[in-house]
Chains A and B, each alone.
Chain A
Amino acid sequence: MILSIQNVVKRYADHTALAGVSLEIPKGQIFGLLGPNGAGKTSLIRIINQITAPDEGKVFFDGELLQPKHVEQIGYLPEERGLYKKMKVGDQLMYLAQLKGLSKAEALSRLKDWFIRLDIKDWWNKPVDDLSKGMQQKTQFIATVVHEPKLLILDEPFSGFDPINANMLKDEILGLKERGTTILFSTHRMESVEELCDSIALINHSQVVLTGEKDEVRNRFKKHAYEVRYSGDLGESKAYEIISKAPENNSAIIKLAQPDQTNQAIASLIKQVDLFEFKEVIPSFNDIFIQVVGETK
């Protein structure tokens, strides 16, 4: 486990942001931290970054109790991110890299590599003010990863990115994962969760309400429903129950009477209609999110 969060409580004057949160984040994964606005995600991220301290509970980083030296092994891209507007891109990144514990020489050589890789060599002496938003986003991303952190925390990383930059960012994230970086990825954009995450945790009302590996969570929310496409007249059967029918598409959703008894259902179907397609309905994370958040109101 790169990160082990145990019973963390954080109270503010007028509300409790985290009410006994426990989470295990395995090494080398992309871990999705989901939840509606105000659920406590940012509070948790700030505690991991040691910007604030928990009122109760403990956080372990790579087996050790979280302490100041660990900031150099964490990279953080906050949701609201900015740069010093008047400073030159190169100076700025040198400053941020050295704050993360790199020596001057090391920072310089790594930044040069990044500038060559992203093909932005001529930006070094430009003031940030002169950069477009997309260019600033690239700069911020470099600042987040230049010290090669073990844990990378990305808070809504895709917000404000155009499709080209979003794709670049996605490739970089996957590349980092391949090289062994653990990525904690906070978002409420479910399509990127489906695409990138290995595991998720859903936080609502200051508590973890759902956690697990992506496929395992999906399985938990399976309703044993199947989508069928056919031609003919579909009627009732003992083997299944029709949930919805769309005659114009010749399709319907059915639920099996006995879970996993697919053969019986198919046998019953082919007696009535010509069957073209028989497919399990996998719940999307969007559905799961809405369902779980709704249930835990």
Chain B
Amino acid sequence: MNKILLVIQREYLTRIQKKSFWIASLLGPILITAIYAVPIWLATQDKEVKRIEILDESGLFQTSDLVDKEVEFKLVNKPVSDLKSSFTKEGYTAFVHLPKDLLAHSEDIKIYSEKNLSLPLKSSIERVIEKKVRAILMKDAGIASEVYEKTQIEVSSETITVSEKGDETSSSSGGAMILAGVMGMLLYVTLLLYGSQVMNGVIEEKSSRIIEVIISSIKPYQLMLGKILGVGMVGLTQFLLWIVLTIGLSQVASKFYSANPMQQKVEQIKKVDPEVAKKMDDASPMAEVTKVIESTNIPLVVGGFLFYFLFGYLLYSSLFAAIGSAVESTAEAQQFTFIVMLPIILAFIMAQFTMQDPDSTMAFWASMIPFTSPINMMVRLPYGVPMWELATSMTLLVVGFLGCSWVSARIYRVGILMYGKKITVKEMAKWLFYKG
């Protein structure tokens, strides 16, 4: 036991002393923070106001009709040919030519610009014109503009889960889906990442020929177990660092965000009108995140994640170790790694369907079978899973791990001493039945 600890210690320390470990630990949180911080930051930036000239041959528009947050319009009355040569010089991004019979041929609008027009700008222009044209058409049809305003409603719904006891929780299907996706992805990446780290560690020991010295001191299964646990602890350390650093970075980012002048204006508006404040809060991305956090059983999800990472990792890494033992180089390992990677990739593909319909028969079986259950059960967990299913899945995973590690240990102990022989899967199967 003492010696397994020594192996764990060596595997752990040599890995966390590497630069690549710290680079990955830092880059992860920076990327995660950037993914949601950058769009928010961009959205709050003061935009440069674009200036657009409008040549209105229909005569329907007044300056008061042409109002937009991001665009400044100016009605002009010059020939098209003059405008074409002058608009850029006078500092306009584009000019719009509205035909005489605009009401009948609203598709005949032409926008001239020097560079390709950005989509948001194009839709801003179209929105303004559309609004006016619609108002005129409504009036012609005898509908008062107030009636029109009133019918402009947006449908949004609140989802609530009801337990058998009748407890209601405000839930968030969108949020659950995001959470499920993130965790599925994270498990997929880490199973592959740390699994292949174990494999490369085994190959290193074998190809550098230190293996024979080591196994004259400890049993092969002790070395294998120590290596797997050591690398697994590196994985857990990395998760921990990611979580702590992401929370830290988000705090910094949100301080930066609230110090932004636009946000300060928003805060002022909120203070004046509580009604508006509530609406704004409900619509903000933070509200959705808060809702997810409130509606999910966080300890269950975190605990589940750690469990499925740990046992999924143990199961797969023992198989990766067996492959590493049978080959002499990483290049040679490729033909076998595919066999182990296949179920992980399959599990990840199944998870896409599980996410769409977490209660389907396929989702049920995918979250029961040990090879696919880590990713698929984690995808189902945020939506809520019956306790007996979770317990069965966990038990099966532990049993699967014990089975795989038995198989792997038997291949490993023969493989690590096998040199200069082309190994096939059939050959490895034979090793299972070799005596000590």
**Which residues from chain A sit less than 8 Å from chain B, CB to CB?**
13, 46, 49-53, 55, 68, 71, 74, 76-78, 80-87, 95-96, 98-100, 140, 143-144
Contact = CB atoms under 8 A, between A and B. Distances in A.
B216 A82 contact: no
Contact of A99 (B6, B430, B434): B6
B435 interface: yes
B62 interface: no
Nearest to B416: A51
B6 A51 contact: no
A83 to B, nearest CB: 6
B218 A99 contact: yes
A95 B6 contact: yes
Interface residues of B, number: 24
Interface of B: 3, 6, 10, 14, 204-205, 208-219, 417, 419, 430, 434-436
Contacts of A71: 216-218
Nearest to B427: A13
Nearest to A68: B219
14 contacts: A13-B434, A49-B216, A50-B216, A52-B417, A52-B436, A53-B436, A78-B212, A82-B208, A95-B6, A95-B10, A96-B213, A98-B6, A99-B217, A99-B218
A3 B210 CA distance: 25
B213 A143 contact: yes
A103 to B, nearest CB: 10
A202 to B, nearest CB: 24
B208 A55 contact: no
A76 B435 contact: no
A121 B430 CA distance: 48
A161 to B, nearest CB: 16
Contacts of A77: 213
A87 B217 CA distance: 19
Given A51-B215, A78-B216, 17 more contacts: A50-B216, A53-B436, A76-B212, A78-B209, A78-B213, A80-B419, A81-B209, A81-B210, A81-B212, A82-B208, A84-B204, A85-B204, A85-B208, A95-B10, A96-B213, A98-B6, A99-B6
A144 B212 CA distance: 12
Contacts of B204: 84-85
B214 A99 contact: yes
A272 B213 CA distance: 63
A29 to B, nearest CB: 21
Contacts, number: 65
Nearest to A55: B435
A99 B2 CA distance: 9
A80 B213 CA distance: 9
B14 A87 contact: yes
A100 B430 contact: no
Contacts of B211: 82
A76 B208 CA distance: 16
Contacts of A84: 14, 204-205, 208, 210
A85 B205 CA distance: 10
Contact of A74 (B208, B216, B417): B216
Contacts of B6: 95, 98-99
B430 to A, nearest CB: 7
A142 to B, nearest CB: 12
Contacts of B214: 96, 99
The 5 A-B residue pairs with the shortest CB-CB distance, nearest first, are A82-B209, A53-B436, A82-B208, A99-B217, A49-B216
A82 B417 contact: no
B208 A51 contact: no
A28 B215 CA distance: 25
A83 B216 contact: no
A83 B210 contact: yes
B3 A99 contact: yes
A52 B413 CA distance: 9
A68 B209 CA distance: 22
Contacts of B3: 99
Contacts of B434: 13
A76 B213 contact: yes
A82 B209 CA distance: 5
A51 B213 contact: no
Residue of A49, A51, A52, A86 contacting most chain B CB atoms (<10 Å): A51
B359 to A, nearest CB: 49
